[in-house]
Amino acid sequence: MLLQNVFIHHVFFWLKENNEQNRNQLIEGLQKLSSVTTIRQYQIGIPANTNREVIENGYSVSWTLIFDTPQQQESYQEDPVHLDFVKACSPLWNKVIVFDTVNAL
């Protein structure tokens, strides 16, 4: 099914110490973050057990969000729940990469 007219915000986190405790703490933070009302859908992921040359699986946790509009994603960035998440969980990671996409078709 083609998702149309959506804004996708995909975040990859590399933990400073990639252990179960830190991973669980980040996942708990993301679960709280999912309460932001502009989020249409979300998925919290960890690297799949796949090995091909083109696969990047060095990250610890991924966070995929679907918004109805770019403006809703901008609102999410300023939401107090998001700001609290960054304040509480940013000490856990040493690298974050974000891919934002809109429909090509």
| CATH number where 13 lies | 3.30.70.100
In a domain, 1, yes or no: no
3-class DSSP state of 18: coil
Tally of domains in the chain: 1
In a domain, 55, yes or no: no
- pLDDT for the residue 21: 97
| Inter-residue contact 1 to 99 (CB < 8 Å) | no
Domain, as residue range, for 45: 7-50+64-102
Each residue's pLDDT, cut to its tens digit, for the chain (105 residues) gives 777 889 999 999 999 999 999 999 999 999 999 999 999 999 999 999 999 999 999 999 999 999 999 999 999 999 999 999 999 999 999 999 999 999 887
- pLDDT for the residue 105: 77
Give the global pTM: 0.93
